[in-house]
Amino acid sequence: MKLKKFKEKYSKKALKKPVKNRKLVDYKWISIVTILAFFISLIFSLFSEIIIPNANSIIAIIVILLFIGIGILFDMVGIAITVADIKTFNSMATKQVRGARLAVKLIQNNEKASSFCNDVIGDICGIISGSAGVALSSILATTFHLNLFVISLLITAIIAALTIGGKAVGKATAINKSTPILFEFSKIVACFYRK
């Protein structure tokens, strides 16, 4: 009985309390990231469509592995941005270490930065590698006189397994080595970044 009254009393208090730090939906960011996703996927698709249909199976496999690798790499960076300790990079930024200020900005905006890396780049690479797999299936079926249906299933399964397995390894690595991953990424991006 006492427990019931206690729960009722404190659940009512909890309902009356105003919610602090409630973030509103950032429609500007959503618009920007949607437009970016469109153009990045357009560029990646164009690259894939130009190279794969006119290439042999080895080149097509390399292109698919490249897209899978880019997806895994950006997934790692997105996780590293989310879990990295800002204090380390603040200390490096005071010593004017190249890339440290950018790393601080990425951590401060980790929701947007990780969304861009994981969702925009990572997901686009997954989609493009899948569509490139369809083109590879067609090439292999024509070249080696294989059943298109069976080879398509196998290629799709291999791409999915490599992507999921690679991202699982990448996430574990990014959580354990977030600082060096983010630092190396920030150093590279800082070469092209202008305030």
CB 103 within 8 A of CB 89: yes
What is d(CA 43, CA 40) in angstroms, rounded to the nearest whole number? 5
Please report the pLDDT score of residue 55 as a whole number: 81
Cα-to-chain-centroid distance, residue 6: 45
- Cα angle vertex 184, ends 103, 170, to 5°? 100
Please report the pLDDT score of residue 5 as a whole number: 58
- Of the chain, the percentage scoring pLDDT greater than 70 comes to 87
One-character DSSP codes across 161-191: HHHHHHHHHHHHHHHHTHHHHHHHHHHHHHT
What is d(CA 147, CA 145) in angstroms, rounded to the nearest whole number? 7
Please report the pLDDT score of residue 20 as a whole number: 53
What is d(CA 189, CA 161) in angstroms, rounded to the nearest whole number? 30
pLDDT beyond 80 at 58: yes
pLDDT beyond 90 at 13: no
- Of the chain, the percentage scoring pLDDT greater than 90 comes to 67
pLDDT beyond 70 at 19: no
Across residues 4-25, what is the average pLDDT?
56
pLDDT beyond 60 at 18: no
Higher pLDDT, 8 or 181: 181
What is d(CA 182, CA 80) in angstroms, rounded to the nearest whole number? 6
Across residues 56-60, what is the average pLDDT?
89
Please report the pLDDT score of residue 75 as a whole number: 95
Please report the pLDDT score of residue 16 as a whole number: 54
Q: What are 95-119's pLDDT values in tens digits?
A: 999 999 999 999 999 999 999 999 8
Quickly state the pLDDT bin for 29 (edges 50, 70, 90). confident
Across residues 44-70, what is the average pLDDT?
90
SS3 191: coil
Region of poorest pLDDT, from 41-45, 68-72, 151-155: 41-45
Closest C-alpha to 77, from 36, 38, 106:
106
Across residues 80-90, what is the average pLDDT?
95
In the chain, what are the helix, strand and coil shares in percent, each to the nearest 5? 85, 0, 15
CB-CB neighbours of 176 under 10 Å: 12
Give how far Cα 187 sits from Cα of 26, 42, 91, 149, Å. Answer: 28, 27, 15, 45
Across residues 151-166, what is the average pLDDT?
96
Please report the pLDDT score of residue 194 as a whole number: 65
